[in-house]
Amino acid sequence: MKAFSALILASLLLVGCASTEIAPIPGSITYSGQPKTKLTLSPIGSTFSHDFYDGTRVVEETYQIQPDRSLKIVRREYRAIFPD
């Protein structure tokens, strides 16, 4: 019974991690919705980065082009403006 409970708990944690999406923040390309222009010449699945300033630090986001040509944020990293 303990093994079954552990298996269910592990599968629930795995599903929770897999469905985590990074929400856009002010400065993100997709903050006000998807861009009106589509990246039609870029291959599906390709990625690109976008850097912006959020007021206290630099934010670097990596986007991936989806099959419907929409953009998905796949990574966000915060950096200090003046590194030590």
| pTM recorded for the entire structure | 0.73
- 46 with 69: CB under 8 angstroms? no
Residue 6 lies in a domain: no
Residue 5 lies in a domain: no
Residue 45 lies in a domain: yes
Residue 7 lies in a domain: no
Range of the domain at 41: 24-84
Per DSSP, 38 falls in state: -
Residue 20's pLDDT is: 84
Residue 11 lies in a domain: no
Residue 77 lies in a domain: yes
pLDDT above 70 (res 1): no
Strand, coil or helix: 82? coil
Beta bridge partners of 71: 65
Percent of the chain past pLDDT 90, that is, above it, reads 64
pLDDT digits (tens, 9 = 90+) for 37-73: 888 899 999 999 999 999 899 999 999 999 999 999 9
- How confident is residue 4, by pLDDT bands cut at 50, 70 and 90? low
Total number of domains constituting the chain: 1
